[in-house]
């Protein structure tokens, strides 16, 4: 693999397989790595995720290994949730904030073994981790390039992985971890994902990556497994109502203008904030926010019609702008036109009459639409198999 000073975009450890499969040559980039937007067809890839199994190369995801005597205490001070409740062998979704209580990033924390953690993040944040480590006896290592990772998501994912030889995988609970022997090394499997469905993420050393890719597609052929690109994944995560740093909020350390950051409460992630666990970065600011009230509410909107409300203003009954859409898509499986939106308080209550101002073009003929929106409470896409253990066979 060429280093960054020789090439603008790095290859992931799965590059040989990915390049072979990427028929469209529709390349995007993700944190410095070449990554397919789509391999063959976005719709087919999306439907593989929902009806069969999709494989997504998530090696570029930022990964930090955190260990040492104070690892748990350090993470508890870094993250807003109580890390003590994430036992060894478990994974937790989490966010971390700056002093002002504005979200820096969201990610997943893997408790690999007692006191040994992996933090997966969207953004690079090694400097913030190091600053946060002042006063803690903790060892932090960026292992982004040292861990090859694939997400295998969809209803046939468990069966496909069992065909790969991962015996007993059906008993792995959501947000749990298990290690398997593979290719003379270790394959770590977590029942996690970014699609809101049954799915797994596979973690291994880069030297096993090629073998894993080939074996997985061989074993998964009967389960209609196929590689999926960024576009299909984005559609699936919007349908599942998951937010993404850089799309649905601006990471606090990238915000230039005052007031443009968002707190966990303002992103609908108040459930991740535990005031009872002791000090953590942003605690005082978030306590103040809880007393004074938040500035924004993050909502899922069911938008009338089938025109995605991407980048739309959200208006109230009198036509006043009360917010804007951060992510939007027509969601094929949920059969709804969904928008994730950030609204000024107090807007976004269940009965508020809201309208999305949508502009769309048909053969360069532009039309403006004020589509009625309804606030959706609860998840839009939440199949039972997502939570069932043992995972249902297909």
Partner 1 sequence: MTEAAYDAIVIGAGHNGLTCAGYLARSGRKVLVLEANDHPGGLAATWEFAEGFRVSAAHLLHILNPQVAKDLALELHGLKCAAADLRTVALDGAGGQVAIYGGKVEGVDAADAVAYAEFHRQTQRFTKVLARFCARTPPRLAERGWEDNLALTRLGWDLRSLGKADMRELLRIAAINIYDVANDRFENPLLKAAIGLDAVLGSHMGPRSPNSVYGYLHRHVNDGLGGGGPRVVQGGMGALGEAFATAAEAAGVEIRYGSRVVRIDLQDGRAAGVTLADGNGFTANLVLSNADLKTTFMDLVGPANLDAGFVRRVHNFRAQGVTAKLHLALDGLPEFRGLASTDASARLLLTPSMDDIELAFNHAKYGECSPSPVMEVSIPTLHDPALAPVGKHVLSAVVQYAPHRLQGGWEAGRTAFLQTCLDRLEAFAPGIGGMVLASELLAPPDLEKQFNLRGGHWHHGEIALDQALFMRPVPGAHRYATPVPGLYLCGASAHPGGGLSGLAGRNAALQAIREQEAK
Residue of 6, 8, 134, 362 that binds partner 1 (CB under 8 A): 134
Q: CA-CA distance, 128 to 93, in Å (whole number)? A: 19
* DSSP letter, residue 209: H
Residue of 284, 317, 320, 359 that binds partner 1 (CB under 8 A): 284
Q: CA-CA distance, 169 to 191, in Å (whole number)? A: 9
CA dihedral over 43, 47, 52, 57, signed as positive or negative: positive
Asked if 139 is part of the footprint of partner 1 (rule: CB under 8 A), the reply reads no
Contacting partner 1 within 158-217 (CB under 8 A)? none
Asked if 7 is part of the footprint of partner 1 (rule: CB under 8 A), the reply reads no
Q: Please report, in angstroms and rounded to a whole number, the separation of the first and last CA atoms in the chain.
A: 38
Compute the least distance from the CB of residue 284 to partner 1, in Å: 6
Binding window for partner 1 (CB under 8 A); candidates: 105-113, 131-139, 226-234, 373-381: 131-139
Asked if 137 is part of the footprint of partner 1 (rule: CB under 8 A), the reply reads no
Asked if 24 is part of the footprint of partner 1 (rule: CB under 8 A), the reply reads no
Q: How many CB atoms lie within 10 A of CB 121?
A: 25
- Choose between 26 and 98: whose C-beta lies nearer to partner 1: 98
Q: How many CB atoms lie within 10 A of CB 34?
A: 19
Asked if 282 is part of the footprint of partner 1 (rule: CB under 8 A), the reply reads yes
Residue of 73, 205, 310, 345 that binds partner 1 (CB under 8 A): 73
Cβ-contact 55, 226 below 8 angstroms: yes
DSSP characters over 343-379: EETT---TT--EEEEEEEEETTEEEEEEEEEEEE-S-
Asked if 49 is part of the footprint of partner 1 (rule: CB under 8 A), the reply reads no
Q: What values do phi and psi take at 163, rounded to 5?
A: -65, -25
Binding window for partner 1 (CB under 8 A); candidates: 80-88, 150-158, 165-173, 277-285: 277-285
Binding window for partner 1 (CB under 8 A); candidates: 212-220, 275-283, 317-325, 372-380: 275-283
Beta strands 148-153; 199-204: pairing state: antiparallel
Q: CA-CA distance, 122 to 325, in Å (whole number)? A: 21
Residue of 281, 294, 326, 342 that binds partner 1 (CB under 8 A): 281
Asked if 262 is part of the footprint of partner 1 (rule: CB under 8 A), the reply reads no
- At 126 the three-state DSSP class reads helix
Residue of 77, 226, 262, 336 that binds partner 1 (CB under 8 A): 77
Contacting partner 1 within 285-344 (CB under 8 A)? 285, 287
- At 71 the three-state DSSP class reads helix
Binding window for partner 1 (CB under 8 A); candidates: 17-25, 190-198, 281-289, 341-349: 281-289
How many amino acids of this chain bind partner 1 (CB under 8 A)? 19
Contacting partner 1 within 96-125 (CB under 8 A)? 98-99
* DSSP letter, residue 104: E
Q: CA-CA distance, 204 to 212, in Å (whole number)? A: 9
- Choose between 125 and 341: whose C-beta lies nearer to partner 1: 125
Interface residues toward partner 1, by CB under 8 A: 73, 77-78, 98-99, 128, 131-132, 134-136, 258, 279, 281-285, 287
């Amino acid at each position: 693999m060429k280093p960054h000073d020789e090439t603008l975009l790095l290859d992931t450890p799965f590059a040989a397989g990915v390049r072979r499969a990427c028929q469209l040559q529709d390349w995007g980039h993700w944190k410095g790595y070449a990554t397919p937007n789509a391999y063959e067809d976005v719709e087919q890839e999306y439907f593989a995720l929902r009806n069969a199994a999709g494989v997504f190369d998530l090696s570029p995801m930022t990964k930090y290994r955190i260990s040492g005597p104070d690892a748990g205490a350090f993470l508890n001070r870094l993250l807003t949730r109580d890390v003590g409740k994430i036992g060894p062998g478990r994974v937790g979704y989490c966010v971390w904030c700056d002093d002002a209580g504005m979200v820096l990033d969201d990610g997943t924390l893997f408790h690999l073994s007692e006191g040994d953690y992996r933090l997966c993040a969207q953004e690079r944040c090694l400097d913030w981790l190091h600053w946060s480590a002042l006063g803690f006896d903790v060892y932090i290592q960026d292992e982004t390039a040292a861990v090859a990772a694939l997400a295998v998501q969809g209803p046939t994912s468990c069966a496909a992985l069992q065909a790969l030889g991962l015996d007993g995988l059906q008993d792995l609970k959501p947000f749990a971890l298990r290690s398997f022997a593979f290719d003379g090394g270790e394959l770590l499997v977590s029942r996690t994902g970014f699609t809101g469905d049954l799915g797994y993420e596979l973690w291994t050393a880069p030297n096993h990556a090629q073998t894993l890719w080939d074996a997985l597609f061989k074993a998964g052929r009967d389960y209609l497994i196929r590689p999926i690109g960024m576009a299909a994944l984005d559609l699936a995560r919007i349908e599942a109502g998951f937010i993404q740093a850089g799309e649905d909020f601006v990471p606090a350390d990238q915000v230039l203008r005052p007031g443009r950051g968002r707190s966990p409460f303002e992103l609908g992630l108040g459930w991740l904030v535990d005031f009872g666990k002791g000090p953590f970065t942003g605690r005082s600011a978030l306590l103040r926010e809880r007393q004074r009230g938040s500035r924004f509410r993050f909502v899922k909107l069911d938008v009338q019609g089938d025109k995605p409300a991407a980048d739309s203003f959200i208006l109230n009954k009198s036509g006043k702008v009360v917010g804007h859409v951060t992510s939007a898509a027509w969601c094929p499986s949920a059969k709804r036109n969904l928008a994730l939106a950030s609204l000024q308080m107090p807007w976004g209550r269940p009965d508020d009459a809201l309208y999305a101002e949508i502009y769309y073009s048909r053969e360069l003929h532009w039309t403006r639409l004020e589509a009625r929106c309804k606030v959706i409470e609860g998840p839009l896409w939440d199949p039972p198999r997502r939570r069932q253990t043992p995972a249902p066979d297909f």
